[in-house]
Structure 1
Amino acid sequence: MAVVITSRESFPEDYPTHTKSLSECSELQKIYLFNNKLSGIIPDGLGTLSNLSVLFLANNNLTGGVPLSLGSNSFIRTVILINNTLTGGIPPLLANSSSLQLLDLTNNHLSGEIPSALFNSSSIVILALGVNNFVGSIPPLVHTSSPLEILILSENNLSGSIPTSLGNFSSLTWLLLSQNSIKGAIPSSLSIIPTIEQLDLSFNNLSGDCNKLLCASIPLLQLPQCNTEASKKWQASVILKIVGFTALCLVLLSWFAVVLLKKRKKVTQSSHPSSKELMQCSYPDLVKATNDFSLANLVGSGKSGSVYKGRFEFEEHTVAIKVFKLDQLGIPKSFIAECKTLRNTRHRNLLRVITACSTFDTIGNEFKALILEYMPNGSLEGWLYPNLDKYGLKRPLSLGSRITIVTDIASALDYLHNHCVPPVVHCDLKPSNILLDDVMGARLADFGLAKFILSFSHSCHHSSTSLLGPRGSIGYIAPEYGFGSKLSTEGNVYSYGIIILEILTGKHPTDGMFTNGLNLHKYVEKAFPQKIAEVLDPCIVPSSEDDGVDSCILHLVKLGLLCSMETPNDRPTMQDVYAEAITIKEAFAVLHG
């Protein structure tokens, strides 16, 4: 197996000569040349390599078109050419490839119509063509056996309507069609896709009653119950039929049938509680759910409050209940501020708030709590520094899990900074506030000693004044906060960078070794890049032969160092950070695909 992996900031000026020689390596199977400054066209000869399965040339300055010869390669499985300046269309032969599983051409200057063969492929799982200049309409799906899971066509010039046949993609989890010129009604067939998680149709010219499509139709989106006039009439008709049938049963089966019907009704209501029932959470409900707030159910405790796990009679899943310590200065107002912020935010990597409870306890004291989704795998801190007495021996986090966590948190912060109006700053980023779900996906939260999420003022788009001084935890607070600087997104980026370095080294930023001006950033910076293996967590140090993994680690270390630069203006934006994190994650996935 021959693999070429090169990933650096610069490349020799005779790049075309080098790549031409690569075209002569008939046994070459995988090419990784991402995150360089490569320019010129992609040699057509690369597509003639009969054993080539992976072509990864993301984040360069490549021009020209997608090599026509790629489609003639019967082994090509992954083509990732994102963030270049490629032009032209998608070669028909590539679109018809029976081996292609991942095609990512995001953020280029590609144009023309999207070949219909891509939508009827029997092999493509990920198709990402966003941020280009594609025109025409979305091709209809002819075959219903497509394995497609992710379809991204955002930010193009697509027109026409959304084909109803898209509902036949039974494995589709992401459907992103935003910022096009698509018109017409949203097809109801989208509501029957059983696996859909992300649906973005924004900034188009769509029409119709969206409520009929989405409300309660896609469980994973957790939208409210439908309440249209048509549904009311249908419900009334059903109720009349049920009443008539029940009356007949009463006549035929006497009181015994009544008992059975009541039991069945009670079970049904318990199994499918309405949104109103979930919103009416009382103090006695919380006492019962947590076994009177017993220590056995205590998850964590800090200055702002304590978190318990519990289970309501009307909810089958375990929940987390955060009880606020209202005797602490500023906590009552913070509870209100947090509720307002969380009410206006929803993202797959933010901890979901189920409801809130503001009432009085049994002796008349004010009581406030948030009911949140429960994360069974605890916090990132618990995995980096396991407490054996409390949790038992945990398997060390794999490099793949660490990369996923880094990407998930970048996704959450990118959403808070760039997709919330007004933007939101999380004021206490640290591993204990990063929770892990049942599949080790990361959610940004505020457990333990966490401070509250603060929104920016409308008059200041990049910073917000804090009356309480710097917020956060020692080791993660941005240096400028110590000099009276306002809260900012740049401060979040700094905290995120420290978390990356901590995840990779297993060193806490307040470790006793950091004295006399030495900190985690400088500790890693001194070892980068030649001696980086000496400071990495031993659990993730790659073997000497695993150059691809080593490249992923170096890029992740570099990202952590850039984010944790001392001067705010030297740090990248969260949008750029998230894009880089995705690239690293994709590169690692290809290596282990």
Structure 2
Amino acid sequence: MSSLANCTKLQIFSMKGNRLQGHVPDSLGNLSAQLQHLYLGTNKLSGGFPSGIANLPGLLILGLEENRFTGEIPEWLGTQTNLQGIELASNFFTGVIPSSLSNLSQLTELYLESNNFYVTIPPNLGNIRVLKILSISNNNLHDSIPKEIFNIPTITRISLSFNKLDGQLPVEIGHAKQLSYLLISSNNLSGVVPETLGDCESMEYLQQLDLSFNRLDGEVPQKGIFKNRSATRIGGNRGLCVGPLELHLPACLATNSSSFKHTDCPLCFKVMIPLASTLLLAGVISLLLFLWKKQRRKSVSLSSFGRKFPKVSYGDIAKATEGFSVSNLIGSGRYSSVYQAKLFEDENVVAVKVFCLETSGANRSFIAECDALRNVRHRNLVQILNACSSIDYKGNEFKAWSMKCAGGGEVSTAADVYSFGVVLLEMFIRRRPTDDMFKDGLSISQFVEINFPDKVSQVVDSQLLQELNLCQETQIAGGEENRVQQCLLAVLNIALCCTKSSPNERINMQEVAAKLHGIRHAYLL
């Protein structure tokens, strides 16, 4: 890196899509003062936000996406006033979104999704008058959506899904006349849908609207994008009613008060709203328990781990992961991180899941996962080897458990996706991967793939197919021919995407969840 300081006219520097690890050296700031494009995305770089960027005043595009950077975004980033694009998605950045970003008057694209940002969305982002794309989905943001961002005259895409945003949708949405995509699913938004969203004149460019899985209620606008079912997602809001016929919503209940809220809703609606946001994994495990008629056991307590899983100490795990080294880190989520480790004398590699107990809900997640996984016995689900409920060297509470690796000793989150896909195929074709028919290199996924989609009726379980045919006959009478078959093909396609032979070709579980939500909305609501 230091030798590049002699390249005084260097304008573009890209190391994107390699296998770079470790911290970005401070000598990055010695690159040419004329550098305009810096691309370091899709590597395994770690550490805090690279400080050397502060010495690159001419930077136009900054790409640090898909790495393992941690810590907070420095306020001085707002002094890089020439920046036009910032891509920081899919890292482990935390803290608040710097309000100083509002000083970047030339910024057109801001990607901050899939990090751990919390508190609120800075209202002064609305001061960036040329911003076109604002993507902050999959974080931990709270409070209401600032109305100021809808007053940006150039904004075309706003993505705020998978946060904890609450309050009502601002009526100022109608001011975003250039808006093409508005994605705000899986939050805690309440109240009615603003009529301005259905205004054909003010929202004429809107192509995709996703308000699904919130707590919205009341009557849905009759006009605009709401008449386009394929472009509108509003499922998971139990209080919504009427709207265009294309949305198939129930009629609104007549009330004597204009302030009709959840207090008048049936009790079952109040129960179903939180259930709709249940984790996908918990749903799959529950389904397996139902299919195989496993007897439910009592919830596991911390004191019972010794009887259910062999215990290991914090010191054992710290040593096996080389002090929780970044080089051993496989992946990280909101509640935990997964490391590869050599925990036992046989030196076989295992995966150790360490829970971040500082995060609210992590302790409950640890207990729930241990309880669920000890109740499930299936060849395509990883086996728990042991659990650790102890304290670390600083006296802090510490919880973790280890599991077997994927076949061949390889640790990969793609193995979990593959297992999910196999389980999904088993449920529909009612055959096990060890069935006698699967031999000479033919696997359960290959069997389905060679018959997909034209001959899928020949591989789906005959009893299930008979039930689906009866359902389809009913829908044909209602003018919805082939919807059942389309739903079946869509689910099997997800299973095939999960069981690709190459792990790099498989979709991730976040994509699986999104696709299943889409199927549910398109065919089952």
Q: What range is the shorter-chain TM-score in?
A: 0.3 to 0.5
> TM-score normalized by structure 1?
0.40
**Per chain length, whose mean CA-contact separation is higher, i.e. which structure has more relative contact order (CA < 8 Å, sep 6+)?**
1
